[in-house]
């Protein structure tokens, strides 16, 4: 089954009670049982809910996985993964990652005795140098947020399999339409479903997908025990969003390519970070493991002037100044003061998140209008 068909039908069936083609919103907290332990597969909606269950099956299908689990946010999904570890365990993470991921690693879990090592994952040298007997997880973003660095998932999976280490990949930027980490050797795929999966900036949700039965059992245990689940209304909205994921992401890619080339020609722009450029680090890896280069772009300004960056993000008219990404509308943001403000300045700037860096989430509007908007703001 091809992706466009899986997005619409994967893991889903018409409602058995009514034949409804759209999964109903089961807005209920509990379920009547015929007798103790004699029920229809659902007991309590923290543990199981038919709407959420349908979404979890659909997500597994589009990521080529067996098991899916949904959470109240992307960070709640990350929280579940780290709770699979024990005090004394170590994690190797990419040094360029979403500020919220950095914050939960450093301010929540580090005090419980889990050590996090942040390294460049441009190649495997730094990763191999940090692997030891305590290493239990390698955490990957690719493309990274916000520098769009590309990490070779298959190359890292060889390290994890050799050393019995779990590999988790944040696939939020790429989406299952462009990249399938499980096929490349990852053990777990994480999504902030808030972004492209929902696609309409109207929900907050996270998801985990895997193939391994043992890992899935542990994920479901933590999901139920910690209770950070999403509600049926949000589950319904993400199911709706996924049905057009392939159409939307294709347009995001087309618009992103046009805007990346436009920015590269602007005199006040210093560097444009977009994996589709042949000059982009690991461009060949991106070509190998992705089916397109996405609609996320970052760029910085000549002179690295903070005031110039703040002026531009305020001057745009179609691009909305806001956190988040992946919706149908185009967004603009300033990572150093918004999405990555929780990372110390010295650490931010080591990975390229400088004062003038601007991040774009290119939407699906008419691309000529988007270019005209950026042109007037840059001028």
- Measured in whole angstroms, the distance separating CA 2 from the mean position of its chain's CA atoms is 22
Rounded to the nearest 5 percent, the helix, strand and coil shares of the chain are 40, 15, 45
CB 46 within 8 A of CB 229: yes
Instruction: Give the whole-angstrom CA distance, residue 286 versus residue 331.
Output: 24
Instruction: Give the whole-angstrom CA distance, residue 131 versus residue 345.
Output: 27
- Residues catalogued as catalytic: 46, 98, 170, 195
Q: Tokens at residue 317, please?
A: 């008219």
User: Cα torsion for 18, 24, 27, 33, to the nearest 10°?
Assistant: 40
Number of neighbouring beta carbons within 10 Å of residue 50: 21
Instruction: Give the whole-angstrom CA distance, residue 125 versus residue 330.
Output: 37
CB 166 within 8 A of CB 215: yes
CA angle 295, 301, 304 (to 5 degrees): 130
Q: Which residues make Cβ contacts (< 8 Å) with residue 376, sequence separation at least 6?
A: 315, 317
């Amino acid at each position: 089954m091809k992706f466009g068909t899986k997005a619409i039908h994967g893991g889903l069936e018409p409602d058995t009670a009514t034949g409804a083609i759209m999964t109903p919103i089961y807005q209920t907290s509990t379920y009547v049982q015929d007798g103790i332990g004699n029920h229809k597969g659902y007991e309590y909606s923290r543990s199981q809910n038919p709407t959420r269950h349908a979404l979890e099956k659909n997500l597994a299908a589009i990521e080529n996985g067996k098991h899916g689990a949904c959470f109240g946010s992307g960070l709640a999904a990350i929280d579940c993964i780290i709770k699979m570890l024990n005090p004394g365990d170590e994690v190797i993470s990419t040094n360029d990652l979403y500020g919220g991921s950095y914050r939960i690693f450093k301010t929540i879990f580090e005090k419980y005795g889990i050590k996090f090592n942040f390294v460049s994952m441009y190649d495997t040298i730094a990763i191999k140098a940090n692997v030891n007997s305590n290493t239990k997880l390698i955490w990957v973003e690719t493309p990274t947020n916000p520098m769009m660095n590309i990490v070779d998932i298959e190359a890292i999976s060889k390290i994890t399999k050799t050393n019995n280490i779990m590999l988790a990949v944040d696939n939020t930027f790429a989406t299952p339409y462009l990249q399938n980490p499980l096929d490349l050797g990852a053990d777990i795929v994480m999504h902030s479903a808030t972004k492209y999966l929902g696609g309409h900036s109207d929900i907050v949700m996270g998801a985990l997908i895997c193939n391994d039965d043992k890992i899935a059992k542990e994920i479901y245990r933590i999901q139920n025990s910690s209770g950070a689940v999403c509600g049926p209304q949000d589950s319904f909205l993400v199911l709706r969003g996924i049905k057009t994921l392939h159409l939307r992401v294709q347009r995001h890619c087309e618009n992103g390519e046009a805007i990346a080339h436009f920015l590269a020609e602007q005199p006040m722009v210093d560097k444009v970070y977009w994996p589709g450029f042949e000059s982009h680090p690991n461009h060949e890896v991106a070509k190998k493991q992705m089916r397109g280069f996405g609609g996320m772009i970052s760029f910085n300004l000549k002179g690295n002037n903070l005031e110039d960056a703040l002026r531009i993000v305020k001057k745009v008219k179609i691009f909305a100044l806001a956190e988040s990404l992946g919706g149908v509308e185009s967004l603009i943001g300033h990572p150093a003061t918004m999405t990555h403000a929780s990372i110390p300045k010295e650490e931010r700037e080591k990975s390229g998140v400088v004062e003038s860096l601007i991040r774009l989430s290119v939407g699906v509007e008419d691309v000529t209008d988007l270019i005209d908007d950026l042109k007037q703001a840059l001028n």
